Structure 1
Amino acid sequence: METEILSDEELAEITGYKARAWQRRWLEDRHWHYVESRGKRPLVGRLYARIQLGTPVEGQNKPPADIPQWTFDLSRVR
């Protein structure tokens, strides 16, 4: 079962850094919200990370694919 907070390995994979200081810098540069533990480990919520990365969240409704696209029509303008 997954925890609500990203693991050290997951955070290193997302940021590309194993050092906590560089992970915090990466998160700050991209305006990600996080909380620091007593050991200065950045704690990032799993749901927040999925939203930031654009990963679909379970139970989230997808928009219907058959919605017609609106187009700008100037054919009746004089």
Structure 2
Amino acid sequence: MSEVLTDEEVAEITGFIRSKQQKEWLIKNNWPFSVKKNGRPSVHRLVMRMKLGVPIENTQTDKEEEFILDLTKVG
């Protein structure tokens, strides 16, 4: 699955087929996006998940230890 929404997914979320109307909707609803070479909005899938309240998996676990650089033995 791509990290960027398909044109169809953007149309489904915004309710619009035309890119101009999609961009207006995204701006009005504070959805960050970039614009592709073809002029269509490009929305990152993570943005959609956050906006729709989908839980985001944390890749760092509590069991991971913090890395500390010890330069005392360099020399």
Whether the TM-score (by the shorter chain) exceeds 0.5 is yes
Q: 2:36 maps to what in 1?
A: 37
For residues 12 and 55 of structure 2, the distance between their equivalents in structure 1, rounded to whole angstroms, comes to: 18
1:1-78 paired onto structure 2 within 5 Å: 2-57=1-56, 59-60=57-58
Structure 2 stretches lacking a partner, 5+ long: 59-75
For residues 15 and 41 of structure 1, the distance between their equivalents in structure 2, rounded to whole angstroms, comes to: 13
User: How large is the Cα RMSD of the aligned pairs?
Assistant: 1.0
Equivalent pairs counted in the alignment come to 58
> What residue identity is the alignment partner of 1:5?
V
Moved over 2 A (4+): none
For residues 13 and 22 of structure 2, the distance between their equivalents in structure 1, rounded to whole angstroms, comes to: 9
How high is the sequence identity, in percent, across the aligned residues? 40
Normalised to the residue count of structure 2, the TM-score between the two structures is: 0.71
Cα deviation for residue 31 of structure 1 reads 1.3
